[in-house]
Amino acid sequence: MTKTPAIVPAPREINVPSAAPFVLTAATAIRHDAAAAPAAAWLSRWLGLKAGAAGPGPAISISVDPALAGEVGGEGYRLSAGAGGVAIRAAAPAGAFYGVQTLRQLLPPDIEQSGLRAQNGRMEVPAVEISDAPRFGWRGAMLDVSRHFASVAEVKRFIDLMALHKLNVFHWHLVDDQGWRIEIKKYPRLTEIGAWRAETPRRDEEGRGDGVPHGGFYTQEEIRAVVAYAAERFITVVPEIELPGHSSAALAAYPHLGNTDVPEYQPMVRCHWGIIMETYAPKPETFQFLDDVFTEVLQLFPGTFVHIGGDEAMKDQWEKSAHAQAFMKANGLKDAHELQSHFVRRTEKFLADRGRRLIGWDEIQEGGLAPGAAMMAWRDVKWAVQAARMGHDVVMAPHTHTYFNFTESNTGGDEDRWGMETSLEKAYSYEPIPEDLEPAHHARVLGGQGQLWREDIPGWARLEYMTFPRLTALSEVLWSPAKRKDFADFRERLRRILARFDRMGVGYRRSALPTKEKAG
């Protein structure tokens, strides 16, 4: 009996002819055309085989033909494997790369650890015909490196794991109250001061710090390296620079940019979690600072979207600040929400003037959404519905299904301080198109992403434990056709990708594993 190979995310169409497999050996050639060079380069590095090698015999061929766009779009591909060879054809370079990632999953998991030496250097790719294309264009994961820093090596590993899942947007949460993590040449104190905090809340004892300084930041050179590394894997990096709230670390470095006329104004890099009162003050020097920061950010990140945060900006300081009140009056802003909107709108214009687009958390809608802005819905799906109806693009990141810092359980989740749970099954059940959104607006939903907020995720092992396999489930939500979704089938295919994780040393949550109720 022919068995359907276990691919995650599930391809749009997969057919298994009863035919002889392709046999991959160290003598296999990788042939490709110029546009498929990035995909071929990844594959040849991974297999340790030379790309472009000539010579007769069965080969892996990778090609790009724009005429295929009608069938598979820019990110889709066709893969055909049999005794005569493996052919991956795509309409664009990204599709060729995803075809290669599918080929990867057709090879035995051992290859992740031992390369071509596994299985005595002779491995089979089952005969298969695949036609595949993603459901959504924004398939992301957000990593918070402010609450706990991640090394460049860890960030690259995260990107590698995203690539295996055909995810294509890495949302890098670089700035928050507990640490500023991106070097800005014009404002060196952002990282001299803003990247370091005195201590971190203890997880075992509420209200106490651990007494251990924590920090770190990425130099611009490191950021460029990460962006290039991601690009080789067809992943766009979306940097997040929070404003007007979540700005304590920046204000600790440059206190004059805050609401200095508010009693007890004393910004510092925060050593506790939760929502902090600090916001930027509406002053010419603050706006200049933000423009300068975004100028450097745009030089580092070539992608279209720039995330400006916008969530949980407390209005208390603006209410108390005579300066902020006078600014609002002079600019015809009727309340603090409109002042928040003023920050967002001028940043939106700054970015639009430079050919970029702003995206922010759903609070940016309060007080009016800037015309070209896109919105990331995290609190409630209703914000996405509203924004999409008004013609704004939206990305779905609801805490109910995509916050993987919440406990992975089905038990009602009081295991962590969030008091929230998102089981593997719940993550898999997520449907990104809101139920009450009219079909005419569905195209406004660009896709979705998984969130890894790191207050309670200090180390990398824990990060992988919280991320996987829930991000694996979400990758299928975002890639595979809705009609192919089947949790029981997913769990069976999951076994195979988890075996791959084992060889790669990914510390996923084992108790999320399917039990053996379908043994055999």
435: annotated active-site residue: no
Report the length, in residues, of the chain: 520
Nearer to ligand ACM, 63 or 146 (CB): 146
Q: Which among 310, 180, 182, 183 has a CA at the least distance from the CA of 251? A: 180
337: annotated active-site residue: no
Find the shortest distance in angstroms from Cβ 406 to ligand ACM. 11
Please give the span between the terminal C-alpha atoms of the chain, in angstroms, as a whole number.
15
Find the shortest distance in angstroms from Cβ 310 to ligand ACM. 9
Nearer to ligand ACM, 210 or 312 (CB): 312
Find the shortest distance in angstroms from Cβ 273 to ligand ACM. 11
176: annotated active-site residue: yes
208 with 201: CB under 8 angstroms?
Answer: yes
Taking CB under 6 A as the rule, which mask of x and - marks residues 274-303 in contact with ligand ACM? Answer: ------------------------------
306 with 239: CB under 8 angstroms?
Answer: yes
Q: What are the residues whose beta carbons fall under 8 Å from the beta carbon of 108, sequence distance 6 or more?
A: 118, 119, 123
Give the whole-angstrom CA distance, residue 135 versus residue 478: 6
| Footprint on residues 300-339 left by ligand ACM (CB under 6 A) | 311-312
Q: Which among 185, 325, 174, 200 has a CA at the least distance from the CA of 262? A: 325
**Which position's Cβ is nearest ligand ACM?**
311
Nearer to ligand ACM, 223 or 397 (CB): 397
| Footprint on residues 377-436 left by ligand ACM (CB under 6 A) | 378
Find the shortest distance in angstroms from Cβ 364 to ligand ACM. 11
- Tell me how many residues contact ligand ACM (CB under 6 A): 4
Nearer to ligand ACM, 312 or 492 (CB): 312
Report the residue from 98, 343, 361, 430 that binds ligand ACM according to the rule CB under 6 A: 361
Nearer to ligand ACM, 233 or 454 (CB): 454
Q: Is 200 left (phi over 0), alpha (psi -120 to 50) or beta?
A: beta
Find the shortest distance in angstroms from Cβ 147 to ligand ACM. 11
Distance (Å) of CA 47 to CA 104, 121, 478, 504: 9, 11, 28, 14
Find the shortest distance in angstroms from Cβ 426 to ligand ACM. 18
32, 171, 173, 246: which one is catalytic?
246
Q: What are the residues whose beta carbons fall under 8 Å from the beta carbon of 80, sequence distance 6 or more?
A: 86, 87, 128, 129, 130
The strand pairing partners of 425, in sequence order, are: none
47 with 115: CB under 8 angstroms?
Answer: yes
Nearer to ligand ACM, 101 or 365 (CB): 365
List residues near ligand ACM by CB under 6 A.
Answer: 311-312, 361, 378
What is the set of active-site residues?
176, 246, 312
